[in-house]
């Protein structure tokens, strides 16, 4: 079962990446990695790209899975809610262009700051439960993949996507769309790791709950209550 699952991850990642590249090859410009929004725009944006849409979809799925874990696995609730908050901050960060343009400039920073403040307070108040939940789940393949995704986004992407690097390498041949394309696809790879890691974390949390006698008793009690409610 585990081998099949990881094979499906491989096929899914390969297929989606192939599909995105095929779209651009078949119809150049379809990925919209550099869209100029007005006449004075000299930089362009990739926010209208299908690649960005896929990234938002991944983050939304991750958030829903963390919400499921928080609801059905009380032991993992502190970890799941913390990860859900991080996913929410990244979701808002990916929408920064539209929030700045159609609502208020730098509005996304306010939203991220609010979520970050709530997370800090939550983790501080539940630090013992958070530490206990972490020790129950670590080490695990899911958390390892999530850590790998963090490495891609915070330790690798900031340097590889640094514009002066590309200007130094390409010199007079520098074109910003090259830098944007590399940056967006590396970012997509990081989100791939996050999604797979989140799925594995969810499955492990589910398995943990199924082995917990107390949780099994609570589930049986809920089933009996639902059956008794149906009779009346």
What is the per-residue DSSP string for 68-114? HHHHH-GGGHHHHHHHHHHHHHHHHHHTHHHHHHHT-TTHHHHHHHH
Q: What is the pLDDT of residue 225?
A: 59
- Cβ neighbours of residue 203 closer than 8 Å, sequence gap 6 or more: 142
Q: Cα separation of 221 and 195, whole Å?
A: 33
Q: What is the pLDDT of residue 34?
A: 87
- DSSP conformation letters of 111-130: HHHHHHHHHHHHHHHTHHHH
Q: Cα separation of 210 and 41, whole Å?
A: 55
Mean pLDDT, each 10-residue run in order, the chain (232 residues): 91 96 93 86 86 95 95 89 94 91 89 95 91 88 93 92 90 90 94 96 84 53 56 52
Q: Cα separation of 163 and 159, whole Å?
A: 9
Burial of 200 (0-12, 13-18, 19+ CB in 10 A): buried
What are the domain boundaries of the chain? 46-213
Residue with tokens 């590889």: 160
- Joined together, the tokens standing for residue 224 give 């009996």
Q: Which helix (H) or strand (E) holds 208?
A: helix 176-211
Question: pTM of the prediction?
Answer: 0.86
Q: What is the pLDDT of residue 139?
A: 85
């Amino acid at each position: 079962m585990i081998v099949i699952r990881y094979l499906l991850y491989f096929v899914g990642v390969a297929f989606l990446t192939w599909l995105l590249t095929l779209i651009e090859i078949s119809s150049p410009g379809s990925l919209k990695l550099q869209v100029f929004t007005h006449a004075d725009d000299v930089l362009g944006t990739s926010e209208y790209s299908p690649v960005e849409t896929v990234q938002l979809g991944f983050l939304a799925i991750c958030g829903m899975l963390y919400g499921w874990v928080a609801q059905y696995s009380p032991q993992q609730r502190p970890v799941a809610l913390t990860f859900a908050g991080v996913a929410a901050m990244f979701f808002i960060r990916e929408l920064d262009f539209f929030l700045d343009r159609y609502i208020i400039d730098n509005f996304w920073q306010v939203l991220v700051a609010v979520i970050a403040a709530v997370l800090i307070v939550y983790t501080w108040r539940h630090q013992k439960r958070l530490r206990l939940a972490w020790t129950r789940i670590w080490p695990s393949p899911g958390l390892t993949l999530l850590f790998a995704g963090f490495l891609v986004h915070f330790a690798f992407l900031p340097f590889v996507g640094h514009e002066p690097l590309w200007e130094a390498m390409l010199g007079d041949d520098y074109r910003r769309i090259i830098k944007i394309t590399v940056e967006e696809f590396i970012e997509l790879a990081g989100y791939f790791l996050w999604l797979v890691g989140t799925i594995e974390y969810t499955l492990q949390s589910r398995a943990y709950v199924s082995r917990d006698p107390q949780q099994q008793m609570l589930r049986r009690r809920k089933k009996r209550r639902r059956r008794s409610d149906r009779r009346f």
